[in-house]
């Protein structure tokens, strides 16, 4: 009889342990799911940051017109950029494109340097068929150094050519940009 009681007590302990383990496994699964959701939310918030920047630039534009009416141009600019999210920078872009009856194509490479000397680069590309209205375009990240290394983002910009001041050879341009992606680390 003592063996039977001991056997049943042992069996009851195993059942309690098994039930407790099932509960702890469910609790552990809930904790794991909650942790994964938190990490995913945090990562997506960091990856999907949105910010704005405003630039005042001076552009040097040289144009050659062809017989068929196409205007081929070279474009260089330099200026300052104000951004609370990225820090203020100086910038320069160079490239070119063409203007036809069908629209404007443009390809520029840009370099930005912040107050710490860290750099980041962007590519600006507009094609006739990209659907951007006059005065708008898209730029994408193209690498960087220091806090700007490994950033991945895309921006939509809009610009306005401003009137030249007397004696000014460069064209003043105001650029407003909305970006989405990685911020500096």
Q: Are residues 10 and 67 in the same domain?
A: no
Domain that holds residue 16: 1-47
Decide if 91 contacts 110 (C-beta within 8 A): yes
Decide if 173 contacts 161 (C-beta within 8 A): yes
Give the angle subtended at the CA of 93 by the CAs of 152 and 98, to the nearest 5°. 105
Q: Are residues 104 and 156 in the same domain?
A: yes
Q: Count each helix (H run) and each strand (E run) in the chain, helices first.
A: 1, 8
pLDDT (tens digit, 9 = 90+) per residue, 13-27?
Answer: 444 555 555 555 556
pLDDT (tens digit, 9 = 90+) per residue, 51-75?
Answer: 999 999 999 999 999 998 899 999 9
pLDDT of residue 13: 45
Which CATH number belongs to the domain containing residue 111 in this structure? 2.40.160
Listed residue (178, 110, 102, 97) closest to 148, CA to CA: 110
Examine the pLDDT at 10 and tell me if it is beyond 60. no
Q: Are residues 93 and 170 in the same domain?
A: yes
Give the angle subtended at the CA of 180 by the CAs of 175 and 183, to the nearest 5°. 95
Q: What's the predicted TM-score (pTM) here? A: 0.72
How far apart, in Å, are the Cα atoms of 101 and each of 62, 82, 141? Answer: 19, 35, 30
E-assigned strand segments in the chain: 49-65, 71-82, 89-100, 103-114, 119-126, 136-144, 153-161, 171-181
The tally of domains found in the chain comes to: 2
pLDDT (tens digit, 9 = 90+) per residue, 72-88?
Answer: 999 999 999 999 999 99
Q: Are residues 89 and 101 in the same domain?
A: yes
CB atoms within 10 A of CB 108: 20
Q: Are residues 77 and 138 in the same domain?
A: yes
pLDDT (tens digit, 9 = 90+) per residue, 130-141?
Answer: 766 678 889 999
């Amino acid at each position: 009889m003592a063996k039977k009681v001991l056997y049943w007590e042992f069996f009851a302990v195993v059942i309690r342990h098994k039930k407790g383990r099932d509960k702890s496994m469910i609790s552990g699964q809930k904790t794991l799911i909650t942790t994964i959701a938190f990490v995913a939310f945090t990562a997506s918030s960091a990856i999907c940051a949105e910010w704005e920047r405003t630039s005042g630039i001076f552009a040097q534009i040289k144009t050659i017109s062809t017989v068929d009416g196409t205007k081929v141009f070279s474009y260089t600019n330099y200026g300052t950029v104000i951004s609370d999210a990225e820090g203020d920078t100086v910038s320069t872009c160079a490239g070119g494109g063409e203007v036809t009856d069908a629209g404007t194509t443009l390809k520029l490479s840009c370099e930005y340097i912040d107050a710490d000397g860290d750099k980041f680069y962007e590519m600006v590309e507009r094609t006739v068929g990209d659907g951007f209205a006059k005065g708008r375009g898209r730029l994408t990240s193209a690498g960087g150094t220091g806090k700007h290394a490994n950033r991945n983002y895309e921006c939509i910009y809009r610009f306005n050519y401003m009137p030249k001041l007397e004696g000014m050879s460069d064209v003043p341009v105001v650029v407003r940009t909305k970006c989405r992606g990685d911020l500096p680390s």
